[in-house]
Amino acid sequence: MPLESYQELNTNNYSSNSGSEDLSSSKAIGKVFLYMGVALLVTALVAVGVGALFAGWLTNWTFDYSVFRNIGTAFEASRTPWIVYFASVIVSFIGMLICTVALGRAAATGRHSAWPAFIVYSIFMGITLSIILIAGIDFVTIGEAFGISAGAFAIMGFIGYKSKRNLNILGMVAWTALIMVLISGLIFGLIFAFNRAAFNVFNIVYTAIVLVIFLILTAVDMYNVKRIVEKGADSKNLCLFCAFTLYTDFINIFIRVLLLLAKLKSR
């Protein structure tokens, strides 16, 4: 949900409902990144934990991740763990959608704390991202992807924070482009599905384009976070919503960088 939707929030009414603290802009920005860091830590711990538990279940608790190198054989050998896992991923997707709505409402009204929805969302995201380990991607590649993502996120966030121009028009263009790319991705993905070489090239190009779009959205969202806190809207719930927006930007950047690294290393 775009942050600009909350820029016209009546700060006085919101503060009276949620008991916001009188913080400076820098302290409010600090809280945003602190909350974002907490969510990322929860997601990472859950992803590693779920991946380890699933691997243990699948291999009689020997924790041998090599079993994921041939998923088809592993599925035929023991289907129940896989069925439970993929059911959990589906439930997580649905849960994330519900948490997104709940978090947005909490930020808009200030009637309830947004923490529960944010933490539950980060847990569901961790369950979903555990597929990275299950797919057999090594920790070195994951670490490299995280480092690159953090650097790119920091650069685009700094650009957005320092921007003197309104970036929301750029954000609208980026969101429109993202929708078009996602739709075209489905179409061209089906066209190239039966040509492995063509599909691999398309997948790399498609992932790179989506990555660029999310980098742009990171700058736009950081610009809007700055505007929100400068207007005095520094309540805990709104800071949590800002953190949630930047958190989802980072996760999307990380996933695309990881996919590109994994694809390039496999060639």
pLDDT band for position 108 (cuts 50, 70, 90): confident
Residue whose C-alpha is closest to residue 100's, from 244, 223, 254, 243? 244
Q: Where do runs of H (alpha helix) occur along 137-195?
A: 139-162, 168-191
pLDDT of residue 137 exceeding 90: no
pLDDT at 129 over 70: yes
List the structure tokens of 238: 């709104």
Residues 260, 66, 192, 176: is their CA dihedral positive or negative?
Answer: negative
For 237-253, what is the mean pLDDT? 93
| Backbone dihedral angles phi then psi of residue 150, each to the nearest 5 degrees | -60, -40
- The position carrying tokens 């992807």 is 145
pLDDT tens column, 175-217: 999 999 888 888 877 777 677 777 778 888 899 999 999 999 9
Q: Which long-range contacts (CB under 8 A, 24 or more apart) does 107-112 make?
A: 107/6, 107/237, 107/238, 107/240, 107/241, 108/6, 108/9, 109/17, 110/14, 110/15, 110/17, 110/18, 110/235, 110/237, 110/238, 111/17, 111/18
Domain spans of the chain, in order of start: 24-266
Query: Higher model confidence: residue 74 or residue 168?
Result: 168
CB 2 within 8 A of CB 246: no
Q: What pLDDT is stored for residue 71 in this prediction?
A: 52
DSSP state, 192?
A: S
Q: How far apart are CA 71 and CA 58, in angstroms?
A: 11
Task: Name the most confidently modeled range: 47-56, 149-158, 172-181, 256-265.
Answer: 149-158
Q: How far does Cα 87 stand from its chain's mean position?
A: 20
Q: Rounded to whole angstroms, how far apart are CA atoms 214 and 205?
A: 14
Res 88 pLDDT > 80: yes
To the nearest whole percent, how much of the chain has pLDDT over 70?
81
**Calpha distance 249→215 (Å, rounded):** 8
Token digits of residue 70: 């041939």
The pLDDT, as a whole number, for residue 164 is 87
Per-residue pLDDT, 62: 61
Cα of first residue to Cα of last residue in the chain, in angstroms, is: 36
User: Helices 236-266 and 139-162: crossing angle, nearest 10°?
Assistant: 130
CA distance 85 to 76: 15
What pLDDT, on a 0 to 100 scale, did the predictor assign at position 61? 61
Given pLDDT bands bounded at 50, 70 and 90, which one contains residue 32? Answer: very high
What CA–CA distance (Å, rounded) separates 181 from 135?
Answer: 25
What gap in Å lies between CA 223 and CA 166, rounded to an integer? 8
pLDDT in tens, 46-72: 998 888 888 777 766 665 555 555 554
Output phi, psi for 119, to 5 deg: -65, -45
Contacts of 223 (CB under 8 A, 6+ apart): 160, 161, 163, 166, 167, 168
3-state class of 193 per DSSP? coil
Mean confidence (pLDDT) of the chain:
82
Mean pLDDT of 119-124: 96
